[in-house]
Amino acid sequence: MTAGTGGIDFARQLARQPLAVWLLALTAAVLFSATTEDLLPWAHKYPRDWVLPIRFAITDFMKWLINDATFGLFTFKEMTRSVSWLLDWPLTAATSLLSTGLMRGQGSDAVQLTPPLAWLAVLGVLAAMGHYARDWKLAALVGGCFLYLAMFGQWDSAMITLSSIVVAVPIGIVLGLLLGVLAYRSRWFGLAIRPVLDLMQTVPIFAYLVPILFLFGFGPVAAMTATIIYAMPPMVRVTMLALRQVADEIVDFGRMVGCTRRQMTWKVLVPSAMPSLMVGVNQVIMLSLNMVIIASMIGAGGLGFDVLSSLRRLQIGAGLEAGIAIVVLAIALDRLSQAFATRSQQMHHERPGNWVLRHPWLSFALAWTAVTGLVGLFLAPVQTYPEALQITTGSFWAELVKYINVNFFDVLEGIKNFFLLNLMIPFKRFLLDIPWVMVVGLVTLAGWRLGGRTLALLTFTLSMFIAVTGQWEKAMVTIYLCGTSVLIASLIGIPIGIAAAQNRRVGRVVQVVIDTLQTLPSFVYLMPVVMLFRVGDFAAMIAVVAYALAPAIRYTAHGVRQIDPNLVEAGVAAGCTRRQVLWKIKLPLALPEIMLGINQTIMLALSMLVITALVGTRDLGQEVYIALTKADTGRGIVAGLSVAFIAIVADRLIAAGSGRMRSRLGLGQEAGAR
């Protein structure tokens, strides 16, 4: 036997021994890093001279766009200007109505011509919408939420936030709908937009704040543009899906009565798909609210600004109050939009002749607004909630923080140090010490083993991008933070998920808790964490764990629940103990689903990590954040893309792994716990 065939045989044997491949690769990696530190320094630390100036190229490109680019008829700058102008006037109108009143003049010498809507008017109209959409209970909930905002002194900020929401949401919905319709009607456009949507949902939000800031300047319009861009993708997806799900018969019917393409879209498809489209509407609302705080970094006022500035000054009380106000607003709008979504199940009603009777709710809203407006002119408490009746909890929270710090400082510090010293710091060191060449090699190998040549090429290219743009170390810090968070989230989430699947009562409680957690804007998670642990990697990790926990629980529960009961029965019949049933039957079968849950957890963790830059991490998120404060487009985009690429690599590897596992277990290909 020659050496050559021996080698081939060996390789074949290896291919049949997946574990052996990994052991071999790891051993090689360790040997490599131990022996070559001095020989091949470039393989350990990516040399500074090799960094490609991509970020400067991007910055230059953006400068060129702003200064010189032209589309023939108009310049790029004129385009952004007109977009700003277009967005500005509805925003001004909404702000006048809800917050400032109609103003004449600019800045400090502006004169108020009319007051904004009275607080009682806003509260009444929204509560009436609640009743119109569902029932008294919803009216009470919505009314209660807005009363809360008034009582806790958050009204003014809340109205600024609300006015940007009422403008951003309809625009996001309409644009999303139009793009979705286009993607449905044109195959070509549908294929083109999918990867763009994928990327938009994995690039951290901060990263596209930077170019927006650069293009639109600092201010409410820029903030709203960012909000729209962030909140729109799900609407596009939902629209594409909803239109495709319209029954074939309905489509045939539309064609049989001779609809033109336009009639088909707007008179048949879109109205028939309305219940599903409303899901998208709800998502746009929730994402817009999620964006409130982040948008305040580029000039949105209101609650987001309050949270951000208190967070920066570490005024936990004030920040928490504003944060809770956002949650309250989110709950009210979420429930309201969901009620409207299900209300499309309306019943017939006889139509009485008179306009007022035919539109009782609209009439009520108009009358109520007029009455409160008029009365408000003479009776101040109707116009604005009296300050004397406001409650503030700021001092309570401040006291609480003080109390915790005085009494539990040692405990908390002990926990923090324990984790830092035993888990986080060693892991970070390890990641920073392995040569980058090895990491790229291992990632590529993983791609090849799990998904063949294409995946290997993808993982190789994306990880090389991070290296050649000179962000290796920051990326490793990101991975370390993300990795520890995901590990801990899984250790907590998977057992909870199993418990939820095994026990119906636990399951119901868990469901309510994670549903609530998921309506909270990500920033809100930072508050209590900062209260307890102040700033730093540990605080960031806790916030990320809290934010990213839900999918680990959800998918595990779903994975365990969907196991074929016959298999479990077979196990029991074979004399397995409960523990054996769990470990030998349920968990292995649920593993692919659990992996998808972990995948989602990683995605959420990465998106949250960028936000935790505010509490002082040193990773790619921080890089994006710095770029934002310096309006350095290239830096922001390159770092943002790197985060997205980490997400994509993790996603594709895990999806491929999970797919292989499914087919090995003989499960169907369909996946997803929804």
Partner 1 sequence: MKGSSVKLSCRGVWKLFGPDPEVFLARHGHEPDNESIAEAGLIGAVCAANIEVREGEIFVIMGLSGSGKSTLVRCLSRLVDPTAGEVIFDGQDLLRASEAEMIEIRRHKMGMVFQHFALLPHLTVLGNVAFPLEVQGIARAAREARALEVIDLVGLKGRESYYPRELSGGQQQRVGIARSLAVEPQIWFLDEPFSALDPLIRREMQDEFMRLQNMLHKTIVFITHDFDEAIRLADRIAIMKDGWIIQIGTPENLVTAPATGYVAEFTKDVPRAKVLSAASVMEPAGGDYAGEVATGDKVADIAARVEAADRPYAVVDDSGEVVGRITRQAVIDVLVGRDSGNGVKP
Site for partner 1 in 154-213 (CB under 8 A): none
Q: Which of 640, 593, 615, 599 is nearest to 486 (CA)?
A: 599
Residue 132 or 230: which CB sits closer to partner 1? 132
Residue 246 or 594: which CB sits closer to partner 1? 246
Q: Count residues near partner 1 (CB under 8 A).
A: 25
Determine the interface stretch with partner 1 among 201-209, 253-261, 537-545, 575-583 (rule: CB under 8 A). 253-261
Element at 113 (helix H, strand E) = strand 111-114
Determine the interface stretch with partner 1 among 84-92, 231-239, 265-273, 413-421 (rule: CB under 8 A). 265-273
Counting contacts by CB under 8 A, is residue 247 touching partner 1?
yes
Rounded distance between C-alpha atoms, residue 672 and residue 674, angstroms: 6
Q: Which of 307, 364, 303 is nearest to 139 (CA)?
A: 364
Minimum separation from the CB atom of position 29 to partner 1 (A): 47
Geometric angle at alpha carbon 109, from 105 and 111, rounded to 5°: 60
Binding partner 1 (rule: CB under 8 A), the pick from 77, 267, 561, 584 is 267
Residue 14 or 274: which CB sits closer to partner 1? 274
**What tokens were used for 258?**
């001779």
Rounded distance between C-alpha atoms, residue 353 and residue 351, angstroms: 6
Determine the interface stretch with partner 1 among 166-174, 254-262, 403-411, 666-674 (rule: CB under 8 A). 254-262
Q: Is 114 helix (H, G, I), strand (E, B) or coil?
A: strand
Minimum separation from the CB atom of position 258 to partner 1 (A): 3
Alpha helices in 344-435 (DSSP H): 355-358, 360-378, 380-383, 394-419, 425-433
Residue 73 or 247: which CB sits closer to partner 1? 247
- Residues 347-386, mask of contacts with partner 1 (x by CB under 8 A): xxxxx-----------------------------------
Binding partner 1 (rule: CB under 8 A), the pick from 157, 272, 283, 484 is 272
Residue 137 or 255: which CB sits closer to partner 1? 255
Counting contacts by CB under 8 A, is residue 265 touching partner 1?
no
Check residue 353 and report its DSSP letter: S
The residue written with tokens 């000039």 in the block is 299
Query: Are 322 and 306 spatial neighbours (Cβ–Cβ below 8 Å)?
Result: yes
Counting contacts by CB under 8 A, is residue 255 touching partner 1?
yes
Check residue 68 and report its DSSP letter: T
Q: Which of 93, 152, 586 is nearest to 326 (CA)?
A: 152
Element at 669 (helix H, strand E) = none
Minimum separation from the CB atom of position 253 to partner 1 (A): 4
Counting contacts by CB under 8 A, is residue 256 touching partner 1?
yes
Q: Is 112 helix (H, G, I), strand (E, B) or coil?
A: strand
Residue 264 or 587: which CB sits closer to partner 1? 264
Residue 252 or 564: which CB sits closer to partner 1? 252
**What tokens were used for 331?**
């709950």
- Most distant CA atoms of the chain, gap in Å: 104
Counting contacts by CB under 8 A, is residue 111 touching partner 1?
no
Where do the DSSP E strands lie in 460-567?
A: none
Counting contacts by CB under 8 A, is residue 518 touching partner 1?
no
Neighbours of 302 (CB within 10 A): 30
Residue 246 or 602: which CB sits closer to partner 1? 246
Query: Are 227 and 164 spatial neighbours (Cβ–Cβ below 8 Å)?
Result: yes
Minimum separation from the CB atom of position 401 to partner 1 (A): 53
Minimum separation from the CB atom of position 256 to partner 1 (A): 4
Q: Is 301 helix (H, G, I), strand (E, B) or coil?
A: coil
Counting contacts by CB under 8 A, is residue 68 touching partner 1?
no
Q: Is 158 helix (H, G, I), strand (E, B) or coil?
A: helix
Binding partner 1 (rule: CB under 8 A), the pick from 245, 263, 395, 422 is 263
Binding partner 1 (rule: CB under 8 A), the pick from 258, 575, 666, 672 is 258
Determine the interface stretch with partner 1 among 285-293, 343-351, 445-453, 580-588 (rule: CB under 8 A). 343-351
Query: Are 376 and 382 spatial neighbours (Cβ–Cβ below 8 Å)?
Result: yes
Q: Give the β-pairing of 102-104 and 111-114.
A: antiparallel
Binding partner 1 (rule: CB under 8 A), the pick from 102, 250, 371, 420 is 250
Counting contacts by CB under 8 A, is residue 453 touching partner 1?
no
Counting contacts by CB under 8 A, is residue 39 touching partner 1?
no
Contacts of 39 (CB under 8 A, 6+ apart): none
Residue 279 or 568: which CB sits closer to partner 1? 279
Residue 344 or 663: which CB sits closer to partner 1? 344
Binding partner 1 (rule: CB under 8 A), the pick from 29, 200, 241, 259 is 259
Determine the interface stretch with partner 1 among 33-41, 245-253, 310-318, 602-610 (rule: CB under 8 A). 245-253
Q: Is 74 helix (H, G, I), strand (E, B) or coil?
A: coil
Binding partner 1 (rule: CB under 8 A), the pick from 268, 316, 477, 553 is 268
Query: Are 628 and 298 spatial neighbours (Cβ–Cβ below 8 Å)?
Result: yes
Residue 38 or 248: which CB sits closer to partner 1? 248
Element at 103 (helix H, strand E) = strand 102-104
Query: Are 239 and 172 spatial neighbours (Cβ–Cβ below 8 Å)?
Result: no
List residues binding partner 1 (CB under 8 A).
247, 249-250, 252-253, 255-260, 263, 267-268, 271-272, 274, 344-351
